[in-house]
Structure 1
C-alpha cells in the first residue's frame, strides 16, 4: 500500500511538471499544486482510458493511469484550470 501511494505521488509530480512545460503561458502553481495537478490528471487519464479503451473495467470507474495517461490527463486538467482561472480574474 505504501509503495502505491509513493508511486502515485512520484508519477503525479512528473506528470504535473511535464504538463506545465507543455501548456503555454505562465501558471502560478506551487510544487504542491503541481503534484495535485498530476494526481488529478492521473485519475482523469485513467477515466479516459476506461471510457475510450475499456481498459481494465474491473478496476473501477476512477483508476490511476500510467505515465502517458497521467500526462494527458494533467494537460487536460491544466487547460481547464487556466481557462476557468482566467475567466474568473477577468470578471473583477
Structure 2
C-alpha cells in the first residue's frame, strides 16, 4: 500500500513535469498543482489502460504511460486556462 502511494507520487511528478514541458508557453502553476495534475492523470490513465487491456504488458507499459501523459497535458491545459485570468493581490483584497 505504501509502495503504491510512493510510486503514484513519483510517477505523477514525472508525468506532470513532462506535461508542462510539452504544453507550449508559460504555465503559471505551482509545483504542488503540477504534482496533483500528474498524480490524477497517472491514476486515471492506469484505470483507462486497465480497461483497454494495455496496463500489464511484458516490459515497460508504454501505452499506459502515453495515456497518462496525454491526460496530464490535458490537465495542464485546463488548469492554465482556468487560472489564466486570476491574479494574486497582496493583502488578499478583492478588486
Taking structure 2 as the reference length, the TM-score comes to 0.66
Matches within 5 A, 1:39-58: 39-49=39-49, 54-55=52-53
In the alignment, structure 1 segments of 5+ residues that lack a partner are 57-64
Q: Which residue of 2 aligns with 1:28?
A: 28
Which has the greater radius of gyration? 2
Q: Which residue of 1 aligns with 2:72?
A: 74
Paired positions, count? 79
Q: Deviations over 1:16-69 (max 9, x none)?
A: 00000000111122221111110111133235446xx6338xxxxxxxx94332
- SS of corresponding position for 1:6: helix
C-alpha contact (below 8 Å) 2:8/2:43 kept by paired residues: no
Q: Which residue of 1 aligns with 2:18?
A: 18
Distance (Å, rounded) in 2 between the aligned partners of 1:79 and 1:4:
27
C-alpha contact (below 8 Å) 2:11/2:39 kept by paired residues: yes
> CA-atom RMSD, angstroms?
2.6
Structure 1 pair 66/8, CA: closer, same or farther in 2 (3 Å)? farther
In the alignment, structure 2 segments of 5+ residues that lack a partner are 55-62, 87-94
Task: Please report how far the alpha carbon of residue 74 of structure 1 lies from its aligned counterpart in structure 2 after TM superposition.
Answer: 0.4
C-alpha contact (below 8 Å) 2:14/2:38 kept by paired residues: yes
Structure showing the higher helix proportion among its residues: 1
